[in-house]
Amino acid sequence: MQGPEEKEAEKDGETALDIRKRKRLERDPLHQGLIVQRSHLKGREYQIDLAARLGKTQVVGVNMPLNQQAGYYCSVCDCILRDSQSYLDHINGKWHNRALGMTMRVEKSTVDQVRKRLEENKKKKEEKNDDDYLPDGIDRRILEAEQAEERAQEEKRTRKLEKKQKERQQREEEETEGADADMMAVMGFGGFGTTKK
Ligand SMILES: [Zn+2]
């Protein structure tokens, strides 16, 4: 199926592709002299509501302006997309972003920028959790970490003490055993458990 403008174009010896190219150039701010250089690709600052016209009834005619026809209308490129998927493809695409004065290249982030963003996100996360702040302004997680460290140190200390105690006990046992043996030898015993005298 051909649109009315494409039929009209063929009369002048211009193909549909030529027309599309010419229109793209006409919309391009670089070719209009509005900008000198394309900017890097930027994120959208608005939310897309794909369901904005859901459930609405509309009369559609062939000769109506594009923005009143069925589908998703792009006011930048003056074109209509028939479904949400192709609309998203379009507004994320090369020609649409060119018309907005951008290249498809994304600006390279520096280490500082990445660090800053990470810090911002961290701050945001911390702000959300009010429970993490005790009344006196101490961060609960820091407090918990400190307590855990203290507990670990105490455990280590008790383990050391136990070990020392065990060693001492063993030494004492060995000494008493030796002493017993000496004593028994003196008294003429061969050892416990014997019936000889
Ligand atoms: Zn567009």
Q: Would you place residue 9 in the very low, low, confident or very high pLDDT band (cuts 50, 70, 90)?
A: very low
Same domain for 150 and 98, yes or no, is no
For the chain, what is the domain count? 2
Q: Domain residues for 172?
A: 118-178
Ligand 1 ion: nearby residues, β-carbon < 5 Å = 74, 76-77, 96
In this predicted structure, the answer to whether residue 190 has a pLDDT above a threshold of 60 is no
pLDDT above 90 coverage of the chain, percent: 37
Same domain for 46 and 132, yes or no, is no
Give the domain-ending residue among 87, 107, 127: 107
Residue 5's φ and ψ, nearest 5 degrees, are -70, -30
Q: Is 192 a member of any domain?
A: no
Same domain for 73 and 144, yes or no, is no
Q: Is 184 a member of any domain?
A: no
Å from CA of 175 to ligand 1 middle: 94
Same domain for 74 and 93, yes or no, is yes
Give the domain-ending residue among 81, 107, 133: 107
Same domain for 125 and 61, yes or no, is no
pLDDT at 197: 47
The answer to which of 9-23, 29-43, 58-72, 158-172 has the lowest mean pLDDT is 9-23
Q: Would you place residue 1 in the very low, low, confident or very high pLDDT band (cuts 50, 70, 90)?
A: very low
Instruction: Return the CA Rg of the chain.
Output: 42
